[in-house]
Amino acid sequence: MLNKSIMDGDNPDLTEERMKGAFDTDKMAAVIYGSEKFAIRRREITESISRIPQLADSKPFSFMTREEKISESCRKLSVLSEHWNQLIDTNNEEEALHLYREVLGLEGHAFSLHETMFIPSLVAQANDEQQEKWLGRAKRREIIGCYAQTEMGHGTNLRALETTATYYPSTQEFILHTPTETALKWWPGALGKSSNYAVVVADLVIRDTHYGAHPFMVQLRDEKTHNPLPGITVGDIGPKMAFNGADNGFLGFNQYKLPRDHMLMRHSRVEENGTYTKPPHAKIGYSSMVKVRSRMAMDQGLFMVSALVIAVRYSAVRRQGFLDDKSREVKVLDYQTQQHRLFPSIARAYAFIFCGFETIQLYDQLLIDVKNGDTSGMSDLHALTSGLKSVVTHQTGEGIEQARMACGGHGYSMASYISEIYGVAIGGCTYEGENMVMLLQLARYLVKSVELVKTGKSKELGPMMNYLAEPDTQIDLTSGPEAYVKVFQHAARRQVWKATDKFHQLMESGQSRDIAWNNSAVELTRASRLHTRLYIMETFIRRVSSISDVSIKKVLIDLVNVHVNYEVLDIGTYALEHVSSTQLDSIRSQLYSSLDTLRPNAVSLIDSFQISDMQLRSVLGRRDGHVYTNLFEWAKASPLNQTHVLPSVNQYLKPMMDKAKL
Ligand SMILES: CCCCCCCC/C=C\CCCC(=O)SCCNC(=O)CCNC(=O)[C@H](O)C(C)(C)COP(=O)(O)OP(=O)(O)OC[C@H]1O[C@@H](n2cnc3c(N)ncnc32)[C@H](O)[C@@H]1OP(=O)(O)O
Ligand SMILES: Cc1cc2nc3c(=O)[nH]c(=O)nc-3n(C[C@H](O)[C@H](O)[C@H](O)COP(=O)(O)OP(=O)(O)OC[C@H]3O[C@@H](n4cnc5c(N)ncnc54)[C@H](O)[C@@H]3O)c2cc1C
């Protein structure tokens, strides 16, 4: 029995699962979270939070109105402000994110964008003097900031942003202005009611020349009264599909004056006389988005895990139907269909998190390089994270929805909380650049790579691109996971070349570059997806190969086997060009047997993420597995059940029924 945290009073069905686990979940947590030190810190932070009763939810989130959710998160933030230094190392971003997830959950709050985009924008875009002025204040939370870029009329296409920041040398000021209704900033998280500052992205204009999107530090509200400053129109955009604890907002400027030194000037400058110095890389101002995209594999992996913790635990306590033994219904987790629904997503979640570690490190390195004047890695990381954010958000959405269905009717209830997780996670398909558009950004890079190969410049290929220059070879599927990587390489290579050839042929036939691109776009997005999935698979295998602990490695190899078999079958139409249908049949058999192999470790694999009940907010996913009693308690707590007869019954239904009786 390796799982140390088995509790006496837990549901025996879950205890049985935990007894079956063949590895230590604390050790696995250390692998998942990158180090034993951080895995321990996570547990310590969770433990410390549990000792502060004011940080507990005052009632289930699902029964709160939007206003109550916003008020509840502000209440907790004020409690947290008394405890930051005891709870976390405030310079450690991962500790801060864990704290936020635990206490505030995933529905958003006043600081949603402060940590994720406002501070990173100041770090990457403000010069030293500006950082001196604002960064400390932001880190101490003396001010609350957000990132205001998207407009009602334009989000994805940044070059068409309409908000202007016009510089006047005579006053040494910018005038920020919203020229039309569609130019209203629309969507920024925590803008509507919480933030008093924003990094605003506007089109820089000097003497009638438009220099495009640039970031500006803008005070929106009076620091004493919190009222909007004159010239600023700001408010909440209303309820959303999910994420309703956040006040996503609108923002308009009416000839709003801003001192010259409020343009963030680390990379581009406007001198007092209006002379403009361009940045060392045209897209350096987009770095805050690359930062968030580089985190998305990790964050989406964790969203998917939350849904899987709920679905896998519930599937181990839910008994329905019979297999061999007709005296007792089976755990639904024993059904092959249930395993097929859930286990490939467990594998993907692990894979996303391992990828996430890599891309976060790549971004941190890029930040250092750029500060030292080296922007050469920007295109590679932009391409990689554009594809990755698109694939992981889409697959996470699919995985969470499968997890919901795997919980049957109770999955549809807010008691499961899966629908909220789904709603928040799939926001990622849209934010940080709509998925199709970002796949097409990666496709630009892929097409350029093929062009390098075609022109004999393979040596100039970026990281991860060498396979595009390699010839197809025979694949021996018995040679382990690397053979599946080869299948993916073949499929991705063929699709990237096919899409590029189509694009080139259309141009040769007389179509303009843009029209030829548009007419090749579906094929190009397919190429980007295959390339990204190849990267995810390679990272997963690489990470697992590097593990030394035998029991951990063994179960992760089982997980890799589920992954590679499932992924190759999932791209069956492409794979068929490289493997025979007989080989696909054999992969199918291997997938079923790998599901079987994984089955005893399923609960331990999701327990290893050590997501607390507080964070999970799910009756179905409770760690102790006492689902039914608590489901009943939860329903009794519904506001509708606080009275036997609702006022609407007396007001409408009774008179209607009484009238019908006459
Ligand atoms: C507890 C944690 C839980 C997490 C919860 C999260 C909470 C937060 C929730 C939500 C946050 C959401 C925040 C936002 O959404 S902020 C707004 C985001 N907006 C976007 O992402 C807009 C997307 N659009 C763009 O990025 C650009 O418009 C574009 C699509 C990239 C196109 O840009 P542009 O038109 O300027 O450029 P081109 O297409 O013409 O390309 C020209 C060349 O530039 C290269 N390029 C583009 N971008 C970059 C970059 N960032 N870095 C490096 N290079 C770049 C591009 O590849 C082209 O190169 P080429 O060589 O092909 O010419
Ligand atoms: C939950 C959430 C939080 C957000 N938070 C913030 C925030 O904090 N700050 C902020 O500034 N913004 C924020 N946003 C806005 C977000 O960044 C934008 O919605 C996003 O960039 C997509 O832009 P869009 O809405 O203009 O979509 P559009 O670009 O209008 O997309 C609509 C459709 O057009 C297609 N399309 C568009 N362009 C092309 C193209 N070139 N080729 C092919 N197809 C195309 C898309 O694929 C899509 O199908 C948030 C959004 C959400 C949902």
List residues bridging with 175 in a β-sheet: 166, 257
Could you report the per-residue pLDDT of 28-71, keeping only the tens digit for each?
A: 999 999 999 999 999 999 999 999 999 999 999 999 999 999 99
List residues bridging with 221 in a β-sheet: 228
- CA-angle at 598, arms to 595 and 602, nearest 5°: 115
Instruction: Tell me, in angstroms, the distance from the centre of ligand 2 to residue 45's CA.
Output: 35
Could you report the per-residue pLDDT of 267-282, keeping only the tens digit for each?
A: 999 999 999 999 999 9
In a domain, 167, yes or no: yes
In a domain, 524, yes or no: yes
Q: Are residues 154 and 293 in the same domain?
A: no
Count structural domains, the chain: 2
Instruction: Tell me, in angstroms, the distance from the centre of ligand 1 to residue 283's CA.
Output: 9
| 189 assigned ligand-binding residue | yes
In the chain, the percentage of residues whose pLDDT exceeds 70 is 99
- pLDDT at site 5: 66
Mean pLDDT for the stretch of residues 176-199: 98
Of all helices (H) and strands (E), which one includes residue 358?
Answer: helix 336-371
Q: Is 285's C-beta closer than 6 angstroms to any atom of ligand 1?
A: no
In the listed set 560, 591, 606, which residue is the last one of a domain according to the structure?
606
Q: Are residues 491 and 545 in the same domain?
A: yes
Q: Are residues 229 and 354 in the same domain?
A: no
Q: Are residues 432 and 300 in the same domain?
A: yes
- pLDDT at site 478: 85
Residue 578 has pLDDT above 90, yes or no: no
Q: Is 512 left (phi over 0), alpha (psi -120 to 50) or beta?
A: beta
**Kind of pairing, strands 256-259 and 173-177?**
antiparallel
In the listed set 237, 253, 279, which residue is the last one of a domain according to the structure?
279
Which pLDDT band holds residue 480 (cuts at 50, 70, 90)?
Answer: confident
In a domain, 325, yes or no: yes
Mean pLDDT for the stretch of residues 175-204: 98
Could you report the per-residue pLDDT of 341-392, keeping only the tens digit for each?
A: 999 999 999 999 999 999 999 999 999 999 999 999 999 999 999 999 999 9
Could you report the per-residue pLDDT of 191-242, keeping only the tens digit for each?
A: 999 999 999 999 999 999 999 999 999 999 999 999 999 999 999 999 999 9
- pLDDT at site 458: 97
Could you report the per-residue pLDDT of 95-122, keeping only the tens digit for each?
A: 999 999 999 999 999 999 999 999 999 9
From the alpha carbon of 155, which atom of ligand 2 is closest? 26
Q: Are residues 165 and 187 in the same domain?
A: yes
Tokens coding 157: 């296409």
CATH of the domain at 583: 1.20.140.10
Taking the C-alpha atoms of residue 35 and residue 485, their distance in angstroms, rounded to an integer, is 27
Residue 498 has pLDDT above 80, yes or no: yes
Residue 360: closest CA among 448, 447, 270, 294: 294
Q: Are residues 487 and 554 in the same domain?
A: yes
Q: Is 586's C-beta closer than 6 angstroms to any atom of ligand 1?
A: no
HEC assignment per residue over 395-442: HHHHHHHHHHHHCHHHHHCCCCCHHHHHHHHHHHHCCCCCHHHHHHHH
| 150 assigned ligand-binding residue | yes
Residue 112: closest CA among 386, 427, 399: 427
Taking the C-alpha atoms of residue 222 and residue 526, their distance in angstroms, rounded to an integer, is 49
Ligand nearest to the CA of 116: 1
Range of the domain at 238: 141-279
Q: Is 157's C-beta closer than 6 angstroms to any atom of ligand 1?
A: yes
Across the chain, mean pLDDT equals 97
| Cβ neighbours of 58 (radius 10 Å) | 12
Q: Are residues 183 and 323 in the same domain?
A: no
**Kind of pairing, strands 209-219 and 197-206?**
antiparallel
Taking the C-alpha atoms of residue 625 and residue 269, their distance in angstroms, rounded to an integer, is 59
In the chain, the percentage of residues whose pLDDT exceeds 90 is 96
- pLDDT at site 161: 97
- pLDDT at site 2: 60
Residue 126: closest CA among 144, 116, 138: 138
In a domain, 634, yes or no: no
Contact 144, 190 (CB under 8 A): yes
CATH of the domain at 272: 2.40.110.10
Instruction: Tell me, in angstroms, the distance from the centre of ligand 1 to residue 100's CA.
Output: 26
Q: Are residues 365 and 508 in the same domain?
A: yes
Q: Are residues 392 and 265 in the same domain?
A: no
In the listed set 279, 307, 324, which residue is the last one of a domain according to the structure?
279
- pLDDT at site 8: 78
Residue with CA nearest ligand 1 atom 19: 432
CA distances from 532 to 326, 389, 391, 590 (A): 46, 10, 7, 24
Which pLDDT band holds residue 4 (cuts at 50, 70, 90)?
Answer: low
Residue type, 207: R
